[in-house]
Amino acid sequence: MTAAGVGGSNPRQWRFDSGRICLDLVATSQEADRPDGPEPLANTGRLTCWLVGAGLVPAGTRLTGVDSSWVAGFVELRDCIERLVRSGPRKDCPEHDLEVVNSRAQSPPPGIRAVRDEGGDLVRALSANPECAALLAVVARDAVDLLTDPVARSRLRQCEGDNCRRVYLDTSRGRRRRWCSSEVCGNRERVARHRRRTSVKDLEVSSAGIE
């Protein structure tokens, strides 16, 4: 699942295939598989697009208050969740990060209501223009649920794709999922494997011609 990014002349495609909202936020950390790139959430437009793509804000909701403080809040929460997830359930997990997540989780999430769209169907809408603390609370609460659920934690996986650092929840049958996305990292590996086979065949043909 992707959502078009916003900001500048290069639209960014956010991916939402980690299995949890909090892990989808972690996946924005230098885009997970591009560690040397610029901060992906540095632009308020990109953060706004992520909020809509992640489902925290219904499409069409006006977010007029998003500013640099929102970006700082989501980047801080993201980095704290990432360290906690990667540290495992050890007792020496980062206490400061745990305090940040717990603090953000205390705020009430946005109020929601069912409204009629233009076609008469019921759709979800927010009761009021959401504040940053309320949206942070949604992600932080999801992180708390994940961190305190041994079964869910046992399904956490690191993507096996080359240069990909994404963490995802493996809910596949037999728990044999290898990539964060079969369409992205899985396809990259299949393409690379095909190229290697083609190169070997070309080399064999070339060697046979020389003989």
Identify the structural domains of the chain with CATH numbers, from first to last. Answer: 2-156 (1.10.3300)
Residue 173 gets which letter from DSSP?
A: G
Per residue, the 3-state secondary structure of 6-52, as one string, reads: CCCCCCCEEECCCCCHHHHHHCCHHHCCCCCCCCCCCCHHHHHHHHH
What's the pTM? 0.81
Residue entry with tokens 């560690």: 35
**Tokens matching residue 210:** 């020389």
Average pLDDT, integer, range 72-93: 88
Residue pLDDT, tens place only, 157-204: 988 887 788 999 998 887 778 778 777 786 766 666 646 566 545 445
> What mean pLDDT, rounded, does the chain reach?
83
The burial of 152, by beta-carbon neighbours within 10 Å (0-12 exposed, 13-18 middle, 19 or more buried), is given as middle
Nearest alpha carbon to residue 79 among 141, 145, 36, 32? 32
Given a cut of 70, is residue 49 above it in pLDDT?
yes
Q: Rounded to an integer, what distance in angstroms lies between the CA atom of residue 161 and that of residue 136?
A: 29
Question: Where is pLDDT greater, at 38 or 119?
Answer: 119
SS3 of 115-156? EECCCCCEEEEECCCCCHHHHHHHHHHHHHHHHCCHHHHHCE
Does residue 85 surpass a pLDDT of 60?
yes
Please, which residues bridge with residue 156 across strands? Answer: 169
pLDDT at residue 161 in the model: 83
Q: What is the rounded CA–CA span in Å between residue 32 and residue 184?
A: 13
What pLDDT score does 5 carry? 41
